[in-house]
Amino acid sequence: METIIAVEGIRKYYKVAKRDRGMRAAIGQLFNRKYEVKKAVDDISFMIGRGEIVGFIGPNGAGKSTTIKMLSGILYPDAGSVEIDGFVPYKQRKQYVKNIGVVFGQKSQLNWDLPLIESFELMKFIYKIPQEQYEENLKLFSELLDMEPFLRQPVRQLSLGQRMRGDIVAALLHSPELVFLDEPTIGLDVVAKEKIREFIRYMNKTRKTTIIFTTHDMQDIEKVCDRLIIIDKGKKIYDGSIDEIKNKYTNFKTIEILLENGGKETETFDIRVTPMNSVLQKLFAEKHIKDISICEPEIDGIIRDIYEGRLLLDSPAMEGTGV
Is residue 297 scored above 70 in pLDDT?
no
Instruction: Give the H or E element holding residue 129.
Output: none
- Spatial neighbors of 180 by CB under 8 A, at least 6 apart, are 68, 71, 72, 100, 101, 102, 103, 212, 214
Q: Categorize the per-residue pLDDT at 295 as very low, low, confident or very high, splitting at 50, 70 and 90.
A: confident
Q: Quick one: what percent of the chain has pLDDT higher than 90?
A: 50
Which of 73-87, 96-110, 309-323 is predicted most confidently?
73-87
Is residue 307 scored above 70 in pLDDT?
yes
- Per-residue pLDDT reduced to its tens digit, 134-193: 999 999 999 999 999 999 999 999 999 999 999 999 999 999 999 999 888 888 888 889
- Per-residue pLDDT reduced to its tens digit, 45-71: 999 999 999 999 998 888 988 999 999
Angle at 197 between CA 57 and CA 222, to 5 degrees: 45
Residue 273's pLDDT is what?
83
> Which stretches within the chain are classed as H helix?
23-31, 64-71, 93-96, 116-127, 131-144, 160-172, 190-207, 218-224, 242-249, 276-286, 299-307, 315-318
Of the listed ranges 96-100, 169-173, 207-211, the least confidently predicted one is 96-100
d(CA 116, CA 90): 30
Average pLDDT over residues 89-112: 87
Fold of 3-10+48-241: Rossmann fold (3.40.50)
Residue 318's pLDDT is what?
45
Residue 316's pLDDT is what?
38
Residue 302's pLDDT is what?
78
- Spatial neighbors of 272 by CB under 8 A, at least 6 apart, are 251
d(CA 128, CA 126): 6
Please report, for residues 13, 154, 277, 293, 309, the alpha-carbon distance to residue 273 in angstroms, rounded to integers and kept in the order given. 43, 60, 12, 20, 21
Q: Categorize the per-residue pLDDT at 317 as very low, low, confident or very high, splitting at 50, 70 and 90.
A: very low
Please report, for residues 25, 50, 164, 178, 207, the alpha-carbon distance to residue 169 in angstroms, rounded to integers and kept in the order given. 52, 21, 9, 14, 14
Residue 30's pLDDT is what?
62
Q: What's phi and psi for 235, nearest 5 deg?
A: -115, 150
Q: Categorize the per-residue pLDDT at 28 as very low, low, confident or very high, splitting at 50, 70 and 90.
A: low
